[in-house]
């Protein structure tokens, strides 16, 4: 494993030196792609209101992946008890009594965008891009491939069904060309999200009979996904275009997975790593 990767088995990576530069370089490449649509950059926080996510059924569809910021209840006696013995014998935090939990740690970067633009009446398609650290509980973790905390860059289009379909087709093409330029062979495959109890999940059934998710897969690893939401977010957040709920789609990149793919393909010597940003500028 490269010395520039600082892995925590709880599911997160630290990056340093050339590997950190490569991560920034990949993100710059994604921003260059986003600029093809004139996508406006936004930066959002680490948490989303649980009530906002509930409007789009996230907690119902993915309760097994949701992670929450927890604080101790502001009760002095309990805080004192916690202070005296914050960890148990296993090193686990001995929560005395948690305070109210009203937020969810960001599960996908683009949720912030729909939430931030709720109630907006669009007079033209809206293109946005954002990056965030995303949090998902998983049954196992693997450095750069599957993490509890990972970096996601997304490019989002909100507009008419026709505009959104055009965006998705073009974004897949651009992402494919970029991956090709980096020597990472991928196949675009139909996929489904990891719904909880999928056989009885409306979302899972919908994705099976009306595919909305395509993944760029390198070997067995999905490095990007193109997702069609129809008017799911437009309806939930009251975003309209031409008086009707806006349709939306997103192109999502898992930054750490791009690092894994580049290392897998080009080895651990930074001298051999290609520049994604240079490749993106040449597209």
Partner 1 sequence: MRSELRSFVLGKARVPRRPEDLTDQTPLLTDGWLRSVHLPELLLLMERLRGTPIDVENLKAGDFRDIDTLMARFGPAARLDTVSGLDTVSGLDTAP
For position 26 contacting partner 1 by CB under 8 A, the verdict is no
SS3 244: strand
Among 193, 264, 265, 278, binds partner 1 (CB under 8 A): 193
37: left (phi over 0), alpha (psi -120 to 50) or beta: alpha
Among 10, 92, 139, 210, binds partner 1 (CB under 8 A): 210
Two tokens at 200? 């009885």
Q: Which of 107, 125 has the CB closer to partner 1? A: 107
For position 185 contacting partner 1 by CB under 8 A, the verdict is no
For position 217 contacting partner 1 by CB under 8 A, the verdict is yes
Among 4, 233, 257, 262, binds partner 1 (CB under 8 A): 257
Q: Which stretch binds partner 1 (CB under 8 A): 11-19, 87-95, 174-182, 252-260?
A: 252-260
For position 139 contacting partner 1 by CB under 8 A, the verdict is no
Residue 72 per-residue DSSP state = B
Alpha-carbon span 27 to 113, nearest angstrom = 18
Alpha-carbon span 52 to 264, nearest angstrom = 38
Q: How far is the CB of 37 from partner 1 (least distance, A)?
A: 19
CB 227 within 8 A of CB 167: no
Total residues contacting partner 1 by CB under 8 A comes to 39
Binders of partner 1 among residues 56 to 115 (CB under 8 A) are: 108-109
Q: Which of 10, 210 has the CB closer to partner 1? A: 210
Alpha-carbon span 41 to 43, nearest angstrom = 7
Alpha-carbon span 144 to 66, nearest angstrom = 20
The radius of gyration of the chain from alpha carbons, rounded to an integer in Å, stands at: 20
Among 122, 181, 205, 238, binds partner 1 (CB under 8 A): 205
Q: Which of 117, 131 has the CB closer to partner 1? A: 131
Task: Please list the alpha-helical segments (H only) found in 182-214.
Answer: 202-209
Q: Which residues pair with 8 in a beta bridge?
A: 12
Q: Which stretch binds partner 1 (CB under 8 A): 91-99, 117-125, 167-175, 194-202?
A: 194-202
Q: Give phi and psi for 60, each to the nearest 5.
A: -80, -35
Q: How many CB atoms lie within 10 A of CB 105?
A: 19
Among 129, 163, 225, 261, binds partner 1 (CB under 8 A): 225
Binders of partner 1 among residues 142 to 161 (CB under 8 A) are: 145-146, 152, 154
Provide the binding-site residues for partner 1, judged by CB under 8 A: 108-109, 134, 145-146, 152, 154, 189-194, 198-206, 208-211, 215-217, 220-225, 252-254, 257
């Amino acid at each position: 494993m490269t010395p520039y990767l600082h892995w925590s088995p709880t599911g997160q990576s630290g990056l340093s030196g050339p590997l950190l530069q490569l991560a920034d370089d990949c993100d710059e490449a994604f921003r260059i792609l986003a600029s093809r649509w004139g996508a406006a950059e936004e930066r959002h926080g680490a948490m989303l209101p649980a009530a906002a996510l509930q409007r789009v059924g996230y907690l119902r569809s993915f309760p097994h992946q949701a992670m929450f910021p927890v604080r101790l209840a502001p009760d002095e006696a309990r805080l004192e008890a916690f202070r005296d013995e914050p960890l148990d014998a296993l090193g686990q935090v001995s929560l005395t009594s948690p305070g109210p939990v009203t937020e969810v740690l960001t599960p996908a970067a683009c949720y912030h965008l729909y939430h931030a633009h709720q109630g907006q009446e669009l007079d033209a398609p809206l293109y946005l891009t954002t990056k965030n650290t995303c949090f998902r509980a998983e049954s196992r973790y693997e450095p750069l491939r599957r993490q509890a905390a990972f970096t996601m860059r997304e490019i989002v289009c909100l507009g008419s069904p026709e505009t959104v379909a055009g965006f998705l087709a073009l974004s897949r093409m651009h992402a494919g060309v970029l991956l090709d330029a980096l020597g990472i062979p991928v196949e675009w495959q139909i996929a489904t999200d990891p719904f909880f109890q999928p056989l009885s999940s409306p979302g899972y059934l919908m994705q099976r009979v009306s595919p909305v998710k395509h993944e760029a897969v390198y070997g067995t690893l999905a490095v990007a996904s193109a997702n069609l939401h129809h008017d799911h977010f437009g309806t939930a957040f009251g975003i309209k275009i031409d008086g009707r709920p806006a349709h939306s789609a997103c192109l999502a990149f898992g930054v750490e997975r791009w690092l894994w793919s580049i290392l897998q393909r080009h080895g651990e010597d930074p001298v051999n790593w290609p520049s994604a940003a240079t490749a993106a500028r040449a597209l």
